[in-house]
Chain A
Amino acid sequence: DTEVTQTPKHLVMGMTNKKSLKCEQHMGHRAMYWYKQKAKKPPELMFVYSYEKLSINESVPSRFSPECPNSSLLNLHLHALQPEDSALYLCASRVGPSHEQFFGPGTRLTVL
């Protein structure tokens, strides 16, 4: 299994809603990442988990709350988002000391 999966594929939410994005990988990778990507821009790093511990938070607003329940699963909890948070949210994972990150297909989030 060489895949990173993300659910849901699309999500529309209001500014008062609470929702969660889910990411899963079964490649034994011990580093997992959340990125945000706006149209015609490169992926922008949000969070890094290494061995299930948060190692990097790129000054992301607290309305985004990551969680890593186990080595295969990564969640991103969303609350009180703004319309400008609408974007493609990408999850990625990396094996050991290598630099290559493998990305999931993303969740297209629209905040109304």
Chain B
Amino acid sequence: DQQVKQNSPSLSVQEGRISILNCDYTNSMFDYFLWYKKYPAEGPTFLISISSIKDKNEDGRFTVFLNKSAKHLSLHIVPSQPGDSAVYFCAASWTGNTGKLIFGQGTTLQVKP
């Protein structure tokens, strides 16, 4: 049972345009969501997170939107840069657990110059 789903395995975007990565979840207990970026042969790098009490969180070029009723979140990258090309993982967690993260399968983003 996949509780966190990233239905698009890959996404290709032109440099300077917006990249939108999507994530859906099924467990209503999740109250915190995170996005990680991963280059090959490296550990994931934390990008941005959002609590369920918010519907938007912004950090520079990265914005995460949360739609609780739809159990859907998205990561917007504007403008996209070639260095953003990586695998992006959505992850979910819930208050009271020992910090266990439930990851989606990942979306590979390619930003073309």
Contacts and interface: CB of A to CB of B under 8 A. Distances in A.
Contact of B98 (A40, A55, A92): A55
B74 interface: no
Contact of A105 (B36, B43, B98): B43
A42 B46 contact: no
A46 B42 CA distance: 18
Interface string B10-36: 000000000000000000000010101
Contact of B43 (A48, A99, A104): A104
B32 A108 contact: no
Contacts of B98: 31, 48, 50, 55-56
A73 interface: no
Contacts of B36: 103
Given A42-B103, A48-B100, A100 B49 contact: yes
A102 interface: yes
Given A99-B32, A106-B41, A42 B89 contact: yes
A24 B89 CA distance: 24
Interface residues of A, number: 26
**Which of A33, A40, A100, A105 has the most chain B CB atoms closer than 10 A to its own CB?**
A100
Nearest to B44: A103
Interface of A: 4, 6, 31, 33, 40-43, 45, 48, 50, 55-56, 88, 90, 92, 94, 99-106, 108
Given A45-B100, A48-B100, A56-B100, 10 more contacts: A31-B99, A33-B99, A42-B104, A42-B106, A43-B101, A50-B98, A103-B44, A103-B45, A106-B41, A106-B43
